Structure 1
Amino acid sequence: MMIRKKGHLANGLLHILLTVFGFIWIYPFIWMIFSSLKTNQEYITSGLKLFPESMQWMNYVRAWKVGHFSDYFINSVIVTVSTVVIVTLLCVLTGYALGRVNFPGRKLLIFIFSATMFIPKGYTIIPVYLIVKQLGLLNTMPGVILAESSGAHVLFILLFMAYFHGLPKELEESGEMDGGGFFRIFWQIMLPLSKPIIATTVIMQFIWTWNSFFVPLVFTLNKPELRTLAVGMFSFAGEHTIDWSGMAAGASISLVPVILVFIAFQKYFIEGISGSVKG
């Protein structure tokens, strides 16, 4: 009985400790939300104080209209959705080939793919820039999308490869007995089974692309109207002053879609990760 009480006490203390650490972890986000409702003067002088003296809802109106966040939001949606579709399609095809087809040089190719994970994205921006420029897509929306979807995306490829590799051979054999070819088996049997990994790829790539700053900045320098939300934060920084409360409002707006997407698909995200590990 005493052991059980001690166990309950330990669990209670652990939950309290985790709650405190969780609050500390999310406090900067909460502070940003409340700061978006302050005046610039109060933003600077209030320190870590949360609640504003009066709610400045016009900060959001200023961010949306004056800060051109309405245009940046549309640009972010176009770039993010297009990039997610391209990356998911390329990764599922590559992962299926590496996971189910035993071709010469397969292990070497997997090793090369895995090695590219350690190359910082900033190191590859110059060749990507030159390729986009030679294609005549510089300072265009397709150019930004192409630059964002470039790269090996090794993590997603490995997730698909592990998942497809773990599927039983009998699935392909049954499809072949029904007269299905390689592509038909992939499209009608294998692809529907990989929905958890597809959902994982969509969620993670959506978050990365939506919050991407460096690539959209480089490829929209001469076309401010093509900026995404992350790059659009620059509109609040003037030559001598910075609209801090407007920037906080803009940051709050840009985080809403990411939070909604993750909340809606977190179940599939967990299933995808656990399924690939089991595979």
Structure 2
Amino acid sequence: MNTTTAAPPQVRRVRRRNRNRWTVGWVLSRLPYWIVAVFLSGAAFLWIYPFLWMVSASLKDQLEVFASGLGLLPDKPIWENYQRAWGEAGFGKYLVNTVIVTVSTVVIVVVRCAMAGYVLARYRFAGRRVALTILVVTLFVPTGYTIIPVIDISQRLGLLNSLAGMIIALSGGAHVAAILLYMGYFRQVPRELEEAAVIDGAGFLSLFFRVMLPLAIPVTATVTLMTFLATWNAFFLPLVFSFSRPDLRTLSVGMLAFVGENSVDWSGMAAAAVISLLPVVLLFALLQRYFVEGVAGAVKS
């Protein structure tokens, strides 16, 4: 029989305080405010410096890109780099292709993964554990191993050199992380909501699209952002699908236009990279709050 008595509350608080000492948060909380601000500002600057350098390089000529070293201020901004990237390199057309492919892929992935996560979270059926195991195992399969069968199936279906084939190929993957996020979120939803909707005569599709999916807005924002980033920056699949159709290139594939046989247009490539990154930065700025809420809400379960 254990006769050890619990420690008094005061002793437990002292022990907890001692355990929490010498962590980064504890040290920062003991420093003056201005020192913490300077430290965090320096860390933030180092974090975003590559992006700032790229923006700076997009306003320089070829020689100044390398002659200025780590300097950020161009001697004279050359806005013609953006004009060359947009017009001569065809990035206007590539941007339209990328928007079509990305938006279509995001819509398909959100609806498909939300339905899969909802069914796995709320229904019990034969083979459910097997399906979950297969989904988790696919997380460890490198993406490169799936490119050959995807291309072969697309060619047999006559979808290889088309935007539709590119969209189906990009949205047809497992997207396990998105399914698990929806699954974790839908587990927390009270069953009384479903029962009330069923009593009112709602079927499966009506229950899902009118009740459950609107409740999962934080997770939907998270999945939207994750899928948007992955599709917007995808390279290998769009490269193969547009190999014989340069007019179908996306922004990431269009970067190859600045790589010549004997030279590389670095300033033009930097301008094209800035054009490619601006929509991503804007989207993340709009959805960052929902992104954090979606991940936190799904992990709770």
Displacement of 1:7? 4.4
Among 172, 192, 212, the residue aligned to 2:234: 212
Give distance in 1, aligned partners of 2:241 and 2:211.
Answer: 40
Q: Which deviates the most, 45-54 or 12-21?
A: 12-21
* Residue 160 (structure 2) aligns with: 138
Q: How far does the alpha carbon of each residue in 1:191-229 deviate from its partner, in whole angstroms, 9 at most, with x for none?
A: 211111111111111111111112111211111111001
Q: Secondary structure at the match of 2:125?
A: coil
Give distance in 2, aligned partners of 1:36 and 1:264.
Answer: 25
Paired letter, 1:222: S
Map 1:100-119 → 2, pairs under 5 A: 100-119=122-141
Q: Secondary structure at the match of 2:201?
A: coil
Matched, 1:245 2:267: yes
Give distance in 1, aligned partners of 2:230 and 2:207.
Answer: 31
* Residue 121 (structure 1) aligns with: 143
Displacement of 1:167? 1.0
Q: How far does the alpha carbon of each residue in 1:84-141 deviate from its partner, in whole angstroms, 9 at most, with x for none?
A: 1111111011111101111111112111101101111111000101111111011111
Give distance in 2, aligned partners of 1:29 and 1:209.
Answer: 20
Give distance in 2, aligned partners of 1:241 and 1:181.
Answer: 61
Displacement of 1:13? 3.5
Unaligned runs of 5+ in 1: 1-5
Among 169, 181, 185, the residue aligned to 1:147: 169
Corresponding pairs, count: 276
* Residue 32 (structure 1) aligns with: 54
Paired letter, 2:250: T
Give distance in 1, aligned partners of 2:154 and 2:32.
Answer: 58
Q: How far does the alpha carbon of each residue in 1:151-192 deviate from its partner, in whole angstroms, 9 at most, with x for none?
A: 100000000111111111111222222232333222222121
Q: Secondary structure at the match of 1:166?
A: coil
Map 1:1-279 → 2, pairs under 5 A: 7-9=29-31, 12-279=34-301
The TM-score normalised by the length of structure 2 is 0.88
Paired letter, 1:75: N
Displacement of 1:28? 0.7
* Residue 3 (structure 1) aligns with: none
| Higher gyration radius (CA) | 2
Percent of pairs with identical residues: 51
Paired letter, 1:114: V
**Structure number with higher helix proportion:** 1
* Aligned alpha-carbon RMSD (Å): 1.8
Give distance in 1, aligned partners of 2:222 and 2:280.
Answer: 14
Give distance in 1, aligned partners of 2:272 and 2:130.
Answer: 46
The TM-score normalised by the length of structure 1 is 0.94
Q: How far does the alpha carbon of each residue in 1:29-66 deviate from its partner, in whole angstroms, 9 at most, with x for none?
A: 00000110000011122211111111101000000001
Give distance in 2, aligned partners of 1:218 and 1:187.
Answer: 35
Q: Secondary structure at the match of 2:237?
A: helix
Unaligned runs of 5+ in 2: 1-27
Paired letter, 2:157: L
